[in-house]
């Protein structure tokens, strides 16, 4: 647990992007300690590297997008969620188009293939962000809050005015089996939104193969749901993907109510902006060390 990790072997995926509908190849390769998760666009020659960090988030409309000023990658959250949950700190993600493959709309295939390839430890201590003071973002009745705690927990509640969803809550702790309980939950959307989203150039690759679609009162997918409360489980999945953009795993209690990519990434930015709200330390030695790179990131946020 005390050492950074990467993947043991190359892992490959191919498919279409949920929003662009474009075909894409994605190849994950092992990376050295302290390099983090990086996306490398293979269809672009210059300025094609984008670090998976919250300071590179360029959009949170329906998906989380990252950019470096000239180049972007989008819908990163399902892969980031699997990497975060499996404890993979460093990996280079070579991608042939701007949007990651949606696969089955969940993180299951990402997690399965990464586990098959195997995860290996690197000879460098893993660093964690320890939350020291509560930070909170409110937007109407939506809430995102993080507060000090001995370990990472995530409490999610949703309340949709739809008979197939309604109120749902889920508590993610270290004893939650990500693979069994979270990774298979799929992205979801309302049929009534589809036309509007497609007019915005979104959801062009969406289908019943990769999205749970709700009409007026029910789930349209012929096989129904994978979990009775699949909706809140997918919100947890997405949130883990956003919290992976902190740069290091978090130690703290996260509470999210009717949140989403926007509130989640705003919460992380706010936390990292406040020097006294967190500290970075390595777990195995419990030697506190301030990370000069993170200090630079803060000035980039200001
Ligand atoms: Zn999602």
pLDDT tens per residue across span 77-103: 999 999 999 999 999 999 999 999 999
For residue 88, how far is its CA from the centre of ligand 1 (angstroms)? 19
pLDDT recorded at residue 285: 47
* Cα–Cα distances in angstroms (integers) from residue 71 to residues 20, 46, 54, 238, in the given order: 15, 9, 16, 23
For residue 31, how far is its CA from the centre of ligand 1 (angstroms)? 25
For residue 76, how far is its CA from the centre of ligand 1 (angstroms)? 9
* Cα–Cα distances in angstroms (integers) from residue 139 to residues 60, 136, 236, in the given order: 15, 10, 19
pLDDT recorded at residue 199: 83
For residue 120, how far is its CA from the centre of ligand 1 (angstroms)? 27
Contacts of 229 (CB under 8 A, 6+ apart): 168, 170
For residue 106, how far is its CA from the centre of ligand 1 (angstroms)? 7
Predicted TM-score of the model (pTM): 0.92
For residue 287, how far is its CA from the centre of ligand 1 (angstroms)? 36
* Cα–Cα distances in angstroms (integers) from residue 72 to residues 113, 153, 159, 204, in the given order: 25, 30, 32, 18
Residues of the chain with pLDDT under 70: 1, 283-302
pLDDT recorded at residue 2: 84
Q: What is the largest CA-CA distance in the chain?
A: 55
pLDDT recorded at residue 1: 59
pLDDT recorded at residue 296: 36
pLDDT in tens, 39-80: 999 999 999 999 999 999 999 988 999 999 999 999 999 999
pLDDT recorded at residue 216: 86
Q: Which residues are catalytic?
A: 261
For residue 242, how far is its CA from the centre of ligand 1 (angstroms)? 10
For residue 26, how far is its CA from the centre of ligand 1 (angstroms)? 18
d(CA 293, CA 13): 31
């Amino acid at each position: 647990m005390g050492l950074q990790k990467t993947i043991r072997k190359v892992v490959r995926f191919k498919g279409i992007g949920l929003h662009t509908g474009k075909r894409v190849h994605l190849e994950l390769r092992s990376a050295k300690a302290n390099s983090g998760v990086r996306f490398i666009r293979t269809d672009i020659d210059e300025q094609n590297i984008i670090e998976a960090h919250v300071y590179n988030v360029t959009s949170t409309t329906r998906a989380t997008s990252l950019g470096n000023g000239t180049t972007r990658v989008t819908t990163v959250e399902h892969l980031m969620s699997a990497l975060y949950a499996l404890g993979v700190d460093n990996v280079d993600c070579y991608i042939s188009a701007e949007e990651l493959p949606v696969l089955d709309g969940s993180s299951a295939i990402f997690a399965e293939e990464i586990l098959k390839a195997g995860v290996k430890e690197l000879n460098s201590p893993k660093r964690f962000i320890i939350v020291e003071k509560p930070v909170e973002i409110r937007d109407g009745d939506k809430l995102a809050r993080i507060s000090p705690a001995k370990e990472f927990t995530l409490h999610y509640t949703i309340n949709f005015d739809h008979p197939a969803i309604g109120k749902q809550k889920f508590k993610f702790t270290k004893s939650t089996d990500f693979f069994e309980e979270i990774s298979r939950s799929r992205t979801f959307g309302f049929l009534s939104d589809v036309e509007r989203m497609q007019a915005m150039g979104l959801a062009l690759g969406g289908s019943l193969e990769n999205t749970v679609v709700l009409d007026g009162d029910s789930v349209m997918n012929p096989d129904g749901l994978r979990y009775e409360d699949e909706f809140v489980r997918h919100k947890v999945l997405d949130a883990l993907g956003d919290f992976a953009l902190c740069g290091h795993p978090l130690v703290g209690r996260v509470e999210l109510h009717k949140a989403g990519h926007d509130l989640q990434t705003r919460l992380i930015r706010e936390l990292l902006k406040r020097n006294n709200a967190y500290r970075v330390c390595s777990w195995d030695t419990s030697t506190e060390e301030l990370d000069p790179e993170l200090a630079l990131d803060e000035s980039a946020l200001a």
